[in-house]
Amino acid sequence: MATRQTWQKLYDLLFEEYGFCGCPLKHETAFQLLAAVMLSAQCRDERVNQVTETLFAVAPDARSMAEMPQETVAEIIRPCGLFQTKSANLIAAAKRIMEVYHGDVPDTMEELVTLPGIGRKSANVLLGNAFQKPGFPVDTHVRRVLNRIGAVDVQEPEKIEMTVNSKVAPGLWCNFSHLIIRHGRQVCSAGRPKCGSCVLKDMCKKRGIKKI
Ligand code: SF4
């Protein structure tokens, strides 16, 4: 089990390399981030940003989204894939936000996960990026990188999240997740990790692997 000092070193090395990353999903409000996060499932951020430009031009907030015909939303978001499920969830979430939360996206984990299509990962994205509250989203990159390094030895996202929550200062969680995701995309990729040029190589258990 990695110590607090090891976790801090991990953060510091990644921060030196990438700095503050910010959320790659374009948004102006919490609702727009919620919509973008929903569309990002199995879809690249660049494509989500292209699609949300069109989507937010016709439905920029929960009120307008709740009144949209599903077939219209589905057609707009088709390039993101899974468009039937995503459009249904998007409209259902907008309706719940209107009916239960008076048009404002709630800002607690407990409330966020009651919205259709929102799980812990998406809720943590919202907490950290829309509400500036502690949130550590665990995606496939976070799971892979932290396991390869040896910081965790567990696959369940919630257990990884709880480990980080217990070892890392809450104020760092959001950027820490961004940093690991960026490192996973640029260096510690699933198929071809570039261990030779990796800033974490001296502390990585899996250094030199070709593939896990
Ligand atoms: S040394 Fe290799 S396996 Fe370890 S974190 Fe870096 S790229 Fe990933």
Mutate to test the pocket of ligand 1, among 148, 183, 211 (most ligand atoms within 8 A of CB): 148
- Ligand 1 neighbour 193 (Cβ under 6 A): yes
| Domain-wise residue ranges, the chain | 4-21+136-203, 30-129
- List Cα–Cα distances, 46 to 50, 97, 122, 201, in angstroms: 6, 27, 18, 29
Q: Helix (H, G, I), strand (E, B), or coil: what is residue 10?
A: helix
What's residue 205's pLDDT?
86
Query: Of 72, 116, 71, 127, which Cα lies nearest the Cα of 94?
Result: 116
Domain 4-21+136-203 and domain 30-129 have a common topology: no
For the chain, what is the mean pLDDT? Answer: 95
Return the exposure string of 104-135: e unless at least 16 CB atoms fall within 10 Å of the residue's CB, then b. ebbbebebbeebebbebbbbbbbbbbbbebbb
Which atom of ligand 1 is found nearest the CA of 195?
2
**CATH topology classification for 4-21+136-203:** Endonuclease Iii, domain 2 (1.10.1670)
What's residue 206's pLDDT?
81
User: Does 194 qualify as catalytic in the annotation?
Assistant: no
State in Å: Cα 181 to ligand 1 middle: 13
- Determine which one of 61, 86, 121, 201 is catalytic: 121
User: Does 206 qualify as catalytic in the annotation?
Assistant: no
State yes or no: pLDDT of 212 exceeds 50: no
Q: What is the DSSP string of 55-119?
A: HHHH--SHHHHHTS-HHHHHHHHGGGS-HHHHHHHHHHHHHHHHHHHTTS---SHHHHTTSTT--
Please state the rounded mean pLDDT for residues 22-41.
Answer: 97
Query: Which CATH number is 30-129's, of 2.60.320.10, 3.30.1490.20, 1.10.1060.10, 1.10.340.30?
Result: 1.10.340.30
